[in-house]
Amino acid sequence: MNDILKLGYVPRISKAQFDDEATEFLQKYWPDALTTPSAVPIEHIAKKKMGLRIHEHRLTEDFSVLGMMCFTTGLAEIYNKENDEYREIKVRYGTMIIDPDTLAKRNVGCLHNTMAHEALHWHKHRNYHILNAVQPIEKFVCPADEPDESQQGRWSDEDWMEWQARGIAPRILMPIQTVKTVFDRLLDKSQENAFIKAGLMPPDKWLIEQMAAFYSVSKQAAEIRMSELGLIR
């Protein structure tokens, strides 16, 4: 039933299924990532494999929304920093809007995660949004704050979709099939690192930095992923 989307219904995917969902996504759009350790080219996947358009626009005055996925053609609201006002622009079906300050104010890893997040919404949730498109445009903005997991019993469909995208996106960028291989290689290298051997850098800090650089993700995302897999404490 997880793959059946109907009006007013979003699949209730458990956290235990997130890696399976990431694998399904990669099998469809970039299967090489499941066998060859490498950074996942999420922008290329979104544009060339999924047929999405990626536009850059500031979405909010306070940088509280990093990305938006547009599921129908119509008007979308953006924020114009120069004029300090919100205005509407015309967008087409399958348009991903990314706040350009995601890279400037965060890092390239955050940018890639935002793209993976929006791409996952398109892959998993677009039928729901299209069926519910009773307004001139059906879009889904993604707030920077996470839904409160302790309140899952009271979540809306939008809360479930946001939680799923937040949980699955990092797993797309760091597939379970290759993370352990990359970690073991880096662990071997860490034993020869002069700073670590001299006690000037904690091994876990170096491993997190190297894992983040390898997969082109944020250090925070790399640390969480490695911790969840039991690779670091």
Residue 153 burial (10 A CB sphere; 0-12, 13-18, 19+): exposed
Rg (CA), the chain: 19
What percent of the chain clears pLDDT 70, i.e. is strictly above it? 87
Q: In terms of pTM, does the model score above 0.85?
A: yes
Query: Residue 206 in contact with residue 223, Cβ under 8 Å?
Result: no
Range 16-34 average pLDDT = 97
Segment 77-93, tens digit of pLDDT? 999 988 999 999 999 99
